[in-house]
Amino acid sequence: MKEPNLAAGYSGNDRKRPSHKNLPQQPDHNDNKDGRKMVDKSMVLQALKESFIKLDARKMVKNPIMFVVEIGFIITLILSVAPNAFGSSSVEPWFNITVSFILLFTVLFANFAEALAEGRGKAQADSLKQSKQEITANLLKANGKIEKTASTFLKKGDVVVVSQGEMIPGDGEVIEGLASVDESAITGESAPVIKEAGGDFNSVTGGTRVVSDQIKVRITSNPGESFLDRMISLVEGAERQKTPNEIALNTVLTSLTLIFMIVVVTLPFFTNYIGFSLEIPVLISLLVCLIPTTIGGLLSAIGIAGMDRVTQFNVLAMSGKAVEAAGDINTIILDKTGTITFGNRMASDFIPAGNASLEELHYWTGLSSLNDETPEGRSTIELLKERGSKLDLSAAADGQVIEFKAETRMSGIDLSDGRQVRKGAVDAVKKWVAAQGGTIPDDLDEEAEEIAREGGTPLAVAVEGTMLGLIYLKDTVKPGMKERFDQLRQMGIKTIMATGDNPLTAATIAREAGVDEFIAECKPEDKIEVIKYEQSQGKLVAMTGDGTNDAPALAQADVGLAMNSGTTAAKEAANMVDLDSNPTKIIEVVSIGKQLLMTRGALTTFSIANDIAKYFAIIPAMFMLAIPEMSALNIMGLATPLTAILSALIFNAVIIPLLIPLAMKGVAYKPMSSNSLLKRNLAIYGFGGVLVPFAGIKLIDMAVSIFI
């Protein structure tokens, strides 16, 4: 891996080459798509219904903390009807009834939080189901005939023909033709995208529509296994897999609950020894206030809402683990082309070399680019026309086109009169000229380095043994990339740019974009080596990709974000798919992952901190009648032991619904170091978690004491 000296940079002269006027300006897909309402009336009503359905003990047992609260509700409910069911009791019946209702609402509020989070996912699944319909497919039979069949009968390997205005019947790869495809049903973007056979942009999704031309598509999924089917099952599935961090936190909370249960169960033995007894409703109230009910009631909702926030950015996460891993990322590997830069390298200038004239360079460049359908080739022809070059390309009519190959890094044409024209990477064309017995002009390398220093890409053009000059391909760093990489640096995340460009060009782009490191002349295996190296240092790595050659690296990375426009192999290897096919989306994914972890941590901190206030409310209330000295701990000045207990229970119940919006939306995230985040959250949610319950319980006590 090469590390650029970004501070030093590269000093070139002030000669500026003209930019191609048709340099595309891609739309920014990084805006937060969460413009829709967080919840609507139907969602709330459904969540209320689900809150009662979830009272089923078979479902509640999956959340041990709230299951304990539900058992407490059942016991106090029995005592409300039969006060002496578990032995003689001196507690007033109204107290049992009140405690019972408070515990019921505590469980219902927790269920409501989870149901509301699930409801958002189900609402999105419903909208996806509307785009999933049975489509009539034009199945191409082995004898070449077309047979009409339902899309539900298509299987992997079938070939279908899709013409203008028709829906693509299933996931597949374009094997013939080129077409403009409307993917708004999947991505929400109205602008159609080009899909063509070969390369990395041949993948199509079932349920999208062809708006121009005709393509042949080979189906790559069986019925029920399509991309849309997977999306629906993932976003609507309430039975999601818990993430490792969530499982670990749940284990800690369950352990705390078990410890406090042991304390509460053994407490009557000690109180009986010192001469007074604690009633069962009071013990249950103590237990509910001691255990971390707040975070226990919101933990599941936080995880579900975190997954939902990812889908708001049109990113399909294959599991919550992938989202969570994104929050712990240390290193991000990004392709230069299409990620850091706009990606369409456009011809910007022609520079003759040696004794070659500009007219000669124009003519032979035109011949070499005539059949080049890449953006570079097409922009070269366009620029020649703009420069007023009279292109007599009849000599290419009977010539043999030489396609570009990664091995040779050249393309061109062999004319019928035996002459050969080549265009490609400078070092590759130089070797080809040398093999033809030609010489290299003295100024060629200097001009090529000049282009590279300016962040462009030089392509050499030669005919037979004569080097004619260079084509200056210009790629532009996307606006705002430097600022975004600065944000990642503030998060403590290292950025590595991978590019096939030569080291000079790579260093210039790296300096301009502000990445930390770069890999020049990068091959697919180089990405895997870098990922493995970073992982061997104990770091988590994320990367983006869209091609088949990116699949191994996407699979190796801890977070692999594949483009929906990419190949099937890339999407299957990754654990996230970006429906907008915007490679810079990985930055948003990392932010969402960090927000998920931060939200869970902040609410856990708040939950544990506000337990401190509840201890000062309920423990003195339990003991100060028998032990008057305990009244010194009644620092809130609560009216009576009964009002103190009820106030703590009521606060314990109402704080859950009050925190639901925060759990759903997530804690506001600002790029900063982990230490700064920890200090900030401890100050807000730790200190605030202590103060809020003191004020809340006191206000509730003042209100309750009016009626008691």
Distance CA 114, CA 232 (A): 19
Is 374 marked as binding a ligand?
no
Asked whether residue 567 is assigned to any structural domain, the reply reads: yes
Is 409 marked as binding a ligand?
yes
The SS3 call for residue 697 is helix
Q: pLDDT class for 200, splitting at 50, 70, 90?
A: low
Q: pLDDT class for 172, splitting at 50, 70, 90?
A: confident
Q: pLDDT class for 708, splitting at 50, 70, 90?
A: confident
Examine the domain organization and report whether 697 and 602 are in the same domain.
yes
Asked whether residue 26 is assigned to any structural domain, the reply reads: no
pLDDT at 75 over 90: yes
Instruction: State which amino acid sits at residue 25.
Output: Q
Q: pLDDT class for 189, splitting at 50, 70, 90?
A: low
Examine the domain organization and report whether 348 and 467 are in the same domain.
yes
Segment 292-306 shows an average pLDDT of 85
Examine the domain organization and report whether 642 and 697 are in the same domain.
yes
Of 158, 200, 308, 335, the active-site residue reads: 335
Asked whether residue 617 is assigned to any structural domain, the reply reads: yes
Distance CA 227, CA 563 (A): 13
> In this predicted structure, what is the pLDDT of residue 396?
72
Asked whether residue 138 is assigned to any structural domain, the reply reads: no
CB 402 within 8 A of CB 413: yes
Segment 67-72 shows an average pLDDT of 94
pLDDT at 503 over 80: yes
pLDDT at 239 over 50: no
Distance CA 110, CA 301 (A): 9
Segment 233-246 shows an average pLDDT of 60
Give, as one character, the DSSP assignment of residue 85.
Answer: B
Examine the domain organization and report whether 498 and 567 are in the same domain.
yes
Is 378 marked as binding a ligand?
no
pLDDT at 546 over 90: no
The residue with tokens 């079938």 is 158
Angle at 412 between CA 411 and CA 418, to 5 degrees: 140
Of 67-76, 249-258, 448-457, where does the model show the most confidence? Answer: 67-76
> In this predicted structure, what is the pLDDT of residue 121?
66
Distance CA 106, CA 68 (A): 11
Examine the domain organization and report whether 450 and 364 are in the same domain.
yes
Is 376 marked as binding a ligand?
yes
Other beta carbons within 10 angstroms of residue 495's beta carbon come to 22
Q: Which of 471-480, 671-680, 682-691 has the lowest mean pLDDT?
A: 671-680
Examine the domain organization and report whether 546 and 655 are in the same domain.
no
Examine the domain organization and report whether 354 and 446 are in the same domain.
yes
More confident residue, 7 or 364: 364
Instruction: State which amino acid sits at residue 45.
Output: L
Give, as one character, the DSSP assignment of residue 240.
Answer: P
Which of 529, 550, 579 is the C-terminal boundary of a domain?
Answer: 579
Examine the domain organization and report whether 428 and 282 are in the same domain.
no
Q: Which of 20-24, 237-241, 281-285 has the lowest mean pLDDT?
A: 20-24
More confident residue, 95 or 398: 95
Asked whether residue 353 is assigned to any structural domain, the reply reads: yes
The CATH number that applies at residue 573 is 3.40.50.1000
Other beta carbons within 10 angstroms of residue 490's beta carbon come to 13
CB 291 within 8 A of CB 72: no
Per-residue 3-state assignment (H helix, E strand, C coil) for 241-305: CCCHHHHHHHHHHHHHHHHHHHHHHHHHHHHHHCCCCCCHHHHHHHHHHHCCHHHHHHHHHHHHH
How many residues are given for the chain?
Answer: 708
pLDDT at 639 over 60: yes
Torsional class of 144: left (φ above 0), alpha (ψ -120 to 50), beta (otherwise):
left
CB 100 within 8 A of CB 77: yes
pLDDT at 28 over 60: no
Both tokens of residue 582? 């915007």
Give the structural domain span for 433.
Answer: 344-476
On the 0-12 / 13-18 / 19+ scale of CB atoms within 10 A, 435 is exposed
> In this predicted structure, what is the pLDDT of residue 313?
78
Which of 448, 476, 504 is the C-terminal boundary of a domain?
Answer: 476
Radius of gyration of the chain (CA): 33
Examine the domain organization and report whether 612 and 519 are in the same domain.
no
Q: pLDDT class for 640, splitting at 50, 70, 90?
A: confident
pLDDT at 669 over 70: yes
Which of 554, 579, 604 is the C-terminal boundary of a domain?
Answer: 579
Sheet holding 457-463, edge to edge: 346-352, 466-474, 457-463, 420-425, 410-414, 400-402
Is 368 marked as binding a ligand?
no
Give, as one character, the DSSP assignment of residue 629.
Answer: G
Distance CA 514, CA 645 (A): 58
More confident residue, 87 or 466: 466
CB 245 within 8 A of CB 600: yes
List, for residues 90-108, the tens digit of each pLDDT value.
788 889 999 999 999 999 9
pLDDT at 66 over 90: yes
The CATH number that applies at residue 407 is 3.40.1110.10
Is 385 marked as binding a ligand?
no
Q: What is the pTM of this model?
A: 0.65
Both tokens of residue 194? 């080009």
List, for residues 119-155, the tens digit of each pLDDT value.
876 766 666 665 556 688 899 988 888 999 888 888 8
> In this predicted structure, what is the pLDDT of residue 37?
52
Quote the number of domains for the chain. 3
List, for residues 375-397, the tens digit of each pLDDT value.
778 888 888 888 887 777 677 77
Asked whether residue 178 is assigned to any structural domain, the reply reads: no
Of 4-13, 39-48, 61-70, where does the model show the most confidence? Answer: 61-70
Asked whether residue 599 is assigned to any structural domain, the reply reads: yes
Element (H, E) at 177: strand 172-182
> In this predicted structure, what is the pLDDT of residue 315?
83
pLDDT at 238 over 50: no
Is 410 marked as binding a ligand?
yes
> In this predicted structure, what is the pLDDT of residue 187?
62
Q: pLDDT class for 6, splitting at 50, 70, 90?
A: very low
Instruction: State which amino acid sits at residue 379.
Output: S
Closest CA to 249 of 308, 294, 304, 295: 295
Examine the domain organization and report whether 535 and 672 are in the same domain.
no
CB 162 within 8 A of CB 210: yes
30's CB contacts (< 8 A; 6+ apart) are 582, 584, 585, 587, 588
Is 408 marked as binding a ligand?
yes
Percent of the chain exceeding pLDDT 70 equals 87
Asked whether residue 644 is assigned to any structural domain, the reply reads: yes
Examine the domain organization and report whether 663 and 626 are in the same domain.
yes
Both tokens of residue 416? 């019928």
> In this predicted structure, what is the pLDDT of residue 5?
33
Is 407 marked as binding a ligand?
yes
* 335 in active site: yes
Please state the φ and ψ torsions of residue 129, each to the nearest 5 degrees: -65, -30
Both tokens of residue 411? 């393309």
Examine the domain organization and report whether 626 and 569 are in the same domain.
no
Q: Which of 26-35, 84-93, 697-706 has the lowest mean pLDDT?
A: 26-35
Please give the mean pLDDT across all residues of the chain.
81
